[in-house]
Copies of this chain bind each other. A is one copy, B any other.
Amino acid sequence: MKLLLLSHGSFGEGIKESYRMIAGDDSNILTISLTDEGIGIFTEKVESLLDELTKDNRVLVFTDMKGGTPFNVALKYQLEHSNKVELVAGMNLPMVLEIGMQISSEENLNKLSIEAVEIGKSGIFRSDIPDENIDDDFEI
């Protein structure tokens, strides 16, 4: 299977660079960026790449956010090719890292897309350091 990252601007390329720095081989991860070339060119690039990839592969698509052009273009494709493409919005690095390392060996696209959501959500973490001023109240 292949992982395709779609985003406004170079976000997809940037997160792929993070992946490469941590995990190494990124040959099963592809990106297309919406740039000032416009929506028409972007849509053509996405549909053309997905047509090519889905000849031999099933494809998991991550987009930057629900709504907006990258998501809408992928959703349209998914509606027409639901057995070959799955779509997750709101990508973050924990999701790309974990799923990227499994993408070439895992056969079950549905399982992987469900796992992507779980990993993405559980990877969002707030570091909660108690405020020193509050602690002071309890000092003797």
Which A residues have a C-beta under 8 Å from some C-beta of B?
Answer: 7-15, 17-18, 20-22, 34, 64-66, 68, 74-75, 78-79, 82-83, 86-95, 97, 113-114, 116-117, 120-121, 123-127, 129-133
Contacts and interface: CB of A to CB of B under 8 A. Distances in A.
19 contacts: A9-B21, A10-B17, A11-B18, A21-B34, A64-B93, A65-B93, A65-B123, A82-B129, A82-B131, A83-B131, A87-B126, A87-B127, A88-B127, A89-B123, A89-B124, A89-B126, A89-B127, A92-B92, A117-B124
Given A64-B18, A65-B97, A130-B82, A90 B124 contact: yes
A118 to B, nearest CB: 9
